[in-house]
Structure formats: structure tokens, C-alpha cells
Amino acid sequence: MQTLTLKRWISSISILSLLSLIVSLALLLYGSDALKPYDALIGLKSFFTGNIQSETVKTILFQVRLPRIILALITGGALATAGAGFQAILKNPLADPYVLGISSGAALGVIVSLYLGVFISIAGISSTMVFAFAGAMLTLYIVYRLGTVDNKIPPHTMLLSGVMVNAIIFAAILMVVSISDSLNLYKILFWLLGYLSSPDYLTLLAAFIFAFIGALILFSQAKSLNILTMDDDTAATLGLNVERIKKLVLVGGALLVAASVSICGPISFIGIMIPHTIRLLAGYDYRFILPVSMIGGGVFLAVADTVARTLLSPAEIPVGIITALAGGPFFLYLLRTRRLI
């Protein structure tokens, strides 16, 4: 494995970012039967030349498809980055926002807001986003308190606490679902399957800011996460404040999860599959794993959503079903071919 120099890091991230941009532009061409790929290509070309003719083409491309693709890039990237961070501090390949209960906590917050009929939006920050963030942070606090032993965060107790809290929250979600009226029941069930919509650009900006702050916190700890792959005692003897780093990563991960769950619902598999795939293909340096997981998670979800909205068009499949069906077999294949299972 080559040493990760600054030059190699910049060139690799630049190439991957360019590829993700090309894929995203290509995905703009595909959608419902209302706009064929060729018409979309002409519309896209006209936009760049400043001579777009059809308002319908403009609306479908830039008010429906583009916001949805951007949302997929933000959400997929946020979930994959959070998963990579949690796996590093808990030293467990199965650790992700769902196992720790943070996704479920955010989901419960959103479901409560839907059940209460609270729909407020100020400067792109909606009430569901606030409820999701509150649910994620409250769950994180409970899991943290339950998993802390002698002012330390042992990975196994943190994971066990997360699993138990997750089960309790899931029961609470089922209870709210069972007492909801038929209209709210349909909304909640569809949302729980993981669903991308076409939000306005102000909402996208708010979600991006949440995710950006969370990602920034995790990226700032990348070098420390490399040291944390050793045991905690060894990392502490090397001068690392282990417990402080774990708290920072947990808070950053909660921000990333809240940003995605508040808009799209809990989408499975990305938080586990993408970071592991990056590790298998590119090694174990978190200065590389974190940003590449963000790019890879975003592109994966954007492609999965395009499949979800075109496979049975005009009907749509919740994207959470596509990520589970596509991601699971691919990940097993990768593990099998590398003789890891």
C-alpha cells in the first residue's frame, strides 16, 4: 500500500469528485417518461449555453431531478461518513448509526412531529429537522450515559447500550404508528422505508450545513482515528485524549445522521457497506476513508434513487429497498472474493 502524501490525497479526491460530478450529471438524464434522456440531454446542453427553450424541461431538470440528486449526495455521504467514524471509535465492523440507535432516535423525533401535525419551516430549517436532531442527540446522550463505565466509553458496553436503546425506540415507533390515523399511517410507513423527494433549495442548504458541520468534526479527527485503530490504552500512551475524541465523533456522527433522517427517513446499509468497501479497496487510513466514504455514499444513493424512480415508472420504489437489495449482495460478493468470509 502506498504512503498517503498530500499530493496523492489531493489528486485522488479531485479525481473521485470529478467522477461523482459526471455521474450526477448523467443521472439528470434519467427519470419518468415525461422527459426522455435525449430531450433531457438537449435541455441540459441548452442550460449551459443559456438558451433553454422549454419551461417544462427546465422545471423537470432543475426543480425535480437536480434537488433530488443533490439530496441523495448529501444523505448518502452523511450516512457513510457517520458509519466510518462509529466503526473506528467502537472498533466493531457492525457499528453504524442504526446499531447505536441514533437513526432510530432521529426517526422517532420525525414521527412524533408527523403525529402531532407540526409543520413549520423557517429559512429552510423545518420542524421535522429540529425534531430529528433532538431525537438523535437525546438518544446519543442516553446511549452515552448507559455505555459509560468509570468515565470511559468501552466499545462493547456502548454497542450493547445502543442495541438495547434501539430496540426500545423501535417499540415506541411501532406504538406511535399503531395509534396514528390512516393518513398519517401511510406517510409514516412510506417514510420509514426510506424515501427521497425533491426538496426546495433552501431545505437542501440547511441539510448541507448540518452535514457539513458533522463531517468537519469527523475529518478533523481523522489522524486520531488512525491511532485509535490500536487499543485505547496504547492510543492514550501516545498522547491521545481517547474519551474526548470518541465524544467528538459521536456528536459529529449524530449531526450527520439527523441531517439525512430528517428528510429521507432511515435508509439502511450505506453506513456499513460503503466504509467497508472503501477499506477493502483502498486501505485503512481514515484521512482517505472519511472523504472517499462521503463521495462513495452520495453517488451510491443517487444511483439507487434513480433506479427506484425509473425501474417501475411511473410508480416509485422506496430507495431504502433498493439500497438493501443492491448493497447486501454486492458487499457479500466483495467479502467472498477477498476470502474474508
pLDDT in tens, 48-103: 777 766 777 788 888 888 999 999 999 999 999 999 998 888 887 777 787 788 88
Count of residues making up the chain: 341
Question: Which cell goes with 67?
Answer: 434537488
Residue 103: its pLDDT value, please?
83
Identify the CA nearest to 229 among candidates 253, 211, 245, 214: 245
Residue 340: its pLDDT value, please?
55
Burial class for 16, CB neighbours closer than 10 Å (0-12, 13-18, 19+): middle
pLDDT tens digit sequence for 256-309: 988 888 788 888 788 888 998 888 888 888 999 999 999 999 999 999 999 988
User: CA-CA distance, 259 to 214, in Å (whole number)?
Assistant: 9
Helices (H) and strands (E) in the chain, counts: 15, 2
Helix (H, G, I), strand (E, B) or coil at 149: strand
Confidence class for position 20, pLDDT limits 50, 70, 90 = very high
pLDDT tens digit sequence for 209-244: 989 999 999 999 999 999 888 777 888 888 888 888
C-alpha R_g of the chain: 20
User: CA-CA distance, 250 to 241, in Å (whole number)?
Assistant: 15
Residue 302: its pLDDT value, please?
94
Grid cell 450526477 — which residue?
A: 24
Given a cut of 80, is residue 166 above it in pLDDT? yes
Identify the CA nearest to 105 among candidates 279, 306, 255, 303: 255
Given a cut of 70, is residue 334 above it in pLDDT? no
Given a cut of 70, is residue 1 above it in pLDDT? no
Residue 7 CB: number of other CB atoms within 10 A? Answer: 8
40: amino acid identity, one letter: A
**Range picked from 21-30, 258-267, 328-337 for highest mean pLDDT:** 21-30
Q: What is the mean pLDDT of the chain?
A: 84
Residue 48 CB-half CA count within 13 A: 6
Given a cut of 90, is residue 9 above it in pLDDT? no
Confidence class for position 133, pLDDT limits 50, 70, 90 = confident
The pTM score is 0.88
